[in-house]
Amino acid sequence: MNVATRTRASLASAPQSSRWQSIGSWLVWPLLMVLVIVLALGIKNNYWLQVTVTAEIMVIAAVGLYVTFGLSGQVSLGQAAFFAIGGYTTGLLVTELSIDLGPAMIIAVIASIGVGLLIGIPSLRLKGHYLALVTLGFGQVVALILINWSWLTGGALGVRNIVAPLFGSFELVKVSHWAIFIGIVMVIAIYVVQMVRTSSYGRAMQAVRDSDVAAAAMGVSLKHVKVLAFTIGAAFAGLAGALNAGFITYISPGTYNLALSVSMLAMVVVGGAKSPWGAVIGAVLLTFLPEVLRSVQEYYMVIYGVVLLIMVALVPGGIWGLIRDGIGWVTRRIRPARAASAEEVTR
């Protein structure tokens, strides 16, 4: 009798729980939009507001790399190259051709997608550290082009005065304006990646990540899935680079080095490679952490490295995995109490 009562109570609460989960999943996005606007208008310190904008840009790059690495299992050390393609395409279109910033950014993303296809298609047969080496070499080639093709890129001097209206006469002047604009783009980027993750393509990417042999045996096209994942990562990195160029108005080759690619990969790993929210957490943490530790001067890089090592060694699932496990533990403790209360009500 008690078993039947518990079963009826659980069945009655299941639709309600599912309904609340559905409502909650849709409320996340407007709440994030509101949070972005509140932070942009609420942070009065100009320095920390600029760091916030940088964190938003890195979130866009990190969620793109999540699709490539976390969702499909392809290790890429060339994200800085796509970041550079987006930044330099935007900068050159604005300064040399006097194109508005918005159209220049769109063209920059298209250019990043095109280069991503050129690199992704020949690399289809590679995986693991072989693919990492290819993307590493690609990043080094782009870095050398930025320095040596001075007739195009300005060489070591870079590109300056990347200032233009976004569209027509609409111009972003204050840092808070940039924080709102880039923050909204960031929320849209996270939403798109979340939709990709839950789509049939996302499930195919996860299958390839877990076992490409088994995925191919089940009819998954490895070619299409890998190229799509690699191209999405390139597109988001290019978008982040374009936004960064428009925000800081100056770009130079020294920004787009191997350290930037490694930092992006660390954001996904530390935050949690199993979810786009892990990439978000990792990007925010690893953007703010060096700034917070600057007060300890020469020791801050040592502390920064130790924190990363501890996170990778002790929390292999990343911060998001730790949060998810904590929520699961609390949920398992709450459910018996709810079932007991429902049983009391039905008696």
pLDDT given for residue 339 in this prediction: 56
The answer to whether 183 and 56 have CB atoms below 8 angstroms apart is yes
3-state secondary structure the chain: CHHHHHHHHHHHHHHHHHHHHHHHHHHHHHHHHHHHHHHHHHCCCHHHHHHHHHHHHHHHHHHHHHHHHHHCCCCCCCHHHHHHHHHHHHHHHHHHHCCCHHHHHHHHHHHHHHHHHHHHCCCCCCCCHHHHHHHHHHHHHHHHHHHHCHHHHCHHHCECCCCCCCECCECCCCHHHHHHHHHHHHHHHHHHHHHHHHCHHHHHHHHHHHCHHHHHHCCCCHHHHHHHHHHHHHHHHHHHHHHHHHHHCCECHHHCCHHHHHHHHHHHHHHCCCCHHHHHHHHHHHHHHHHHHHHHHHHHHHHHHHHHHHHHHHCCCHHHHHHHHHHHHHHHHHHHHHHHHHHHHHC
Strand partners, 251: 159
Each residue's pLDDT, cut to its tens digit, for the chain (347 residues) gives 454 554 444 444 445 445 544 555 678 889 999 999 999 999 999 999 999 999 999 999 999 999 999 898 888 888 999 999 999 999 999 999 999 999 999 999 999 999 999 888 877 677 777 788 888 899 999 999 999 999 999 898 999 999 999 988 888 889 999 999 999 999 999 999 999 999 988 899 898 888 888 888 888 888 888 889 999 999 999 999 999 999 999 999 988 988 899 889 889 988 888 889 999 999 999 999 888 877 776 776 677 777 777 777 777 778 888 888 777 777 777 766 555 565 555 55
Calpha distance 268→284 (Å, rounded): 11
CA angle 7/323/263 to nearest 5° reads 145
The answer to whether 167 and 102 have CB atoms below 8 angstroms apart is yes
The answer to whether 90 and 101 have CB atoms below 8 angstroms apart is yes
- Residue 305: Cβ within 10 Å count: 10
pLDDT given for residue 47 in this prediction: 92
Nearest C-alpha neighbor of 247 from the set 87, 47, 112, 93: 87
Tokens read off for 298: 């020469």
